[in-house]
Amino acid sequence: MKVRGVLRVPGDKSISHRALMFAALGKGESRVRGLLCSADVLSTGAVLRSLGAAIPELNAREFTVRGGGLRSLRESAADLDCGNSGTTARLMSGVLAAIPFDSRVTGDASLSKRPMQRVAKPLEAMGAQFEFANGDGLPMTVHGGLLKGVTWFSETASAQVKSAILLAGLVADVPVEVHEPAATRDHTERMLRARGVDVRTEGTVVTLLPAARLDAAAQDVPGDPSSAAFFVALAAIAASGALEIEHVCVNPSRTGALSVLAAMGALIGTEDTHDAGGEPVARLVVSPRLLRGITIEPEMVPSLIDELPVIACVAARAEGETRVTGAAELRVKESDRIAAVVSNLKAIGADAEELPDGFVVRGSDRPYRGRVQTRGDHRIAMAFGVLGALDGNAIEIDDRECVNVSYPGFWSDLERAIG
Ligand code: S3P
């Protein structure tokens, strides 16, 4: 299989969620360009609309949101349905905690199994109240109220937890300080700074000082590095050719997969790096090489957490062993991604093994054949879609539609890249 052409992946999912939330909470008109129009981001749009925000149709290349300010949201009569989206549920919890009304937050079967106490705990320490019907998962009711500031030592390296606390501090107009065990993606911090909020970062400590208002701001959403990673991986394991991926966000908190694939031997050029919308953006040019297995250390994990499924699939084609540890968080993503990756690699004939907090994959150049059970997880579908595109492999994906939560055009882009 040969790769060729120039590809532009859809807008970054993390930045898209935040662009809508900050446009709704900002005072005045915010222009948004290049938003990811996927099921997860539509969930954020719908939740904000239920709370009274003037969010327009989201399928335009560019649109304007008229924000009502930090305290403009109103109680919703209906449940706030976050669909499959953990970012919607967790970041909005921070906002809801700081406004004096009740909200019932729900999600689909997968999201309802994911841990929410990790955001409830710090927000309760600030003075909000949470009620859970089923222990740690959704549905949950948020009783928002007057909050006080907090210094929080987070047990998990999670940008969603950090962001929920920062948003609660922002809306409540109180100072917050978050200590993370390892630095996580910093889009919230960058975007709040661009909107006039005093947010400081020192190592793994992030502080937000009281801000009476959030300015409106234009947001250009760069391409999602987690979506680009599927095509970087495809080009790295192809037989020949080269693939260019334009306008990709190369924020250092998101580029761990590029470093790992390069260390495995892939030829990855990063060209024309420049700033767009407060984020570094570049064109990636990738060609195949012989790949070797690698050990991924725990401290790298936050910078490539969403890319581990596709790295595992690349590892199945590399020479030798790839080992990942310190990635227990994978067990509480859209599926248990350690179990999903390993059982599906085995199902297609690859050599893989689960670890409590990661996995081991031993690569081979034999053909891989079989049926993949995605467990409704978009990144499992796309990772095995990449492996299935190689000559000699025949991999059937049980649910191709689940890619719609983050990358609705994935299958047609995949066909074009190998066209
Ligand atoms: C995200 C943070 C990460 C990531 C998710 C998006 C965000 O989750 O896996 O896809 O937008 O903040 P955690 O914060 O739970 O690690």
Write the DSSP string, 257-318.
HHHHHHHTT-EEEEEEEEEETTEEEEEEEEE----B--EEPGGGGGGTGGGHHHHHHHHTTS
Specify the ligand 1 atom closest to the Cα of 17: 11
Contact 251, 279 (CB under 8 A): yes
What is the 158 CA–ligand 1 centroid distance (Å)? Answer: 6
State mean pLDDT over 187-204.
98
Any atom of ligand 1 within 6 Å of the Cβ of 306: yes
pLDDT band at 277 (very low <50, low <70, confident <90, very high): confident
For 222-418, the fitting CATH number among 3.65.10.10, 3.10.580.10, 3.10.20.600, 2.60.40.1180 is 3.65.10.10
* Average confidence (pLDDT) over 262-282: 96
Q: Ligand 1 center to residue 250 CA distance, Å?
A: 16
Q: Is 188 in the pocket of ligand 1 (CB under 6 A)?
A: no
What is the whole-number distance in angstroms between the Cα of residue 91 and the centre of ligand 1? 10
- What was the pLDDT predicted at 236? 98
Does pLDDT of 311 surpass 90?
yes
Write the pLDDT tens digit of every residue in 24-80: 999 999 999 999 999 999 999 999 999 999 999 999 999 999 999 999 999 999 999
Q: Which atom of ligand 1 is nearest to the CA of 91?
A: 12
| Share of residues in the chain with pLDDT > 70 (%) | 100
Mean confidence (pLDDT) of the chain: 98
Closest CA to 334 of 377, 396, 301, 293: 377
What tens digit of pLDDT does each residue of 173-187 get?
Answer: 999 999 999 999 999
Confidence of residue 190 (pLDDT cuts 50, 70, 90): very high
pLDDT of res. 414:
98
Q: How far is the CA of 13 from the centre of ligand 1 (A)?
A: 10
Residues of the chain with CATH 3.65.10.10: 13-220, 222-418
Q: Would you identify the CATH topology of the domain 13-220?
A: UDP-n-acetylglucosamine1-carboxyvinyl-transferase; Chain (3.65.10)
Ligand 1 in contact with 253 (CB < 6 A)? no
Which residues does the annotation mark as catalytic?
A: 306
Q: How far apart are CA 172 and CA 147, in angstroms?
A: 6
For tokens 């991604």, what's the residue? Answer: 337
What is the 8-class DSSP label of residue 158? -
Q: pLDDT digit string (tens) for 197-221? A: 999 999 999 999 999 899 999 999 9
What is the whole-number distance in angstroms between the Cα of residue 368 and the centre of ligand 1?
A: 31
261 lines ligand 1 (CB under 6 A): no
Average pLDDT over residues 110-116: 98
d(CA 12, CA 33): 11
Please give the pLDDT value at position 388: 98
Q: Ligand 1 in contact with 158 (CB < 6 A)?
A: yes
Range 100-108 average pLDDT: 98
* Contact criterion met (CB below 8 Å) for 127 and 145: yes
Asked if 97 and 126 touch (Cβ cutoff 8 Å), the reply is yes
By the 10 Å C-beta count (0-12 exposed, 13-18 middle, 19+ buried), 112 is classed as middle
pLDDT bucket at 134, cuts 50 / 70 / 90:
confident
Q: Nearest Cα to 208, choosing from 164, 252, 251?
A: 164
Distances (CA, A) of 41 to 55, 355, 407: 12, 32, 11
Ligand 1: which of 12, 13, 14, 227 to mutate, judged by most atoms within 8 Å of the beta carbon?
14
Least confident of 166-170, 266-270, 273-277, 294-298: 273-277
- Is the minimum distance from the CB of 14 to ligand 1 under 6 angstroms? yes
pLDDT at 370: 98
pLDDT tens, 339-368?
999 999 999 999 999 999 999 999 999 999
Taking the CA of residue 14 as reference, the ligand 1 atom at the shortest distance is: 11
> CB within 8 A of 264, min separation 6: which ones?
236, 291, 292, 293, 294, 314, 315, 318, 322
Nearest CA to ligand 1 atom 4: 306
Element (H, E) at 189: helix 187-194
If you average pLDDT over residues 143-172, what whole number do you get? 98
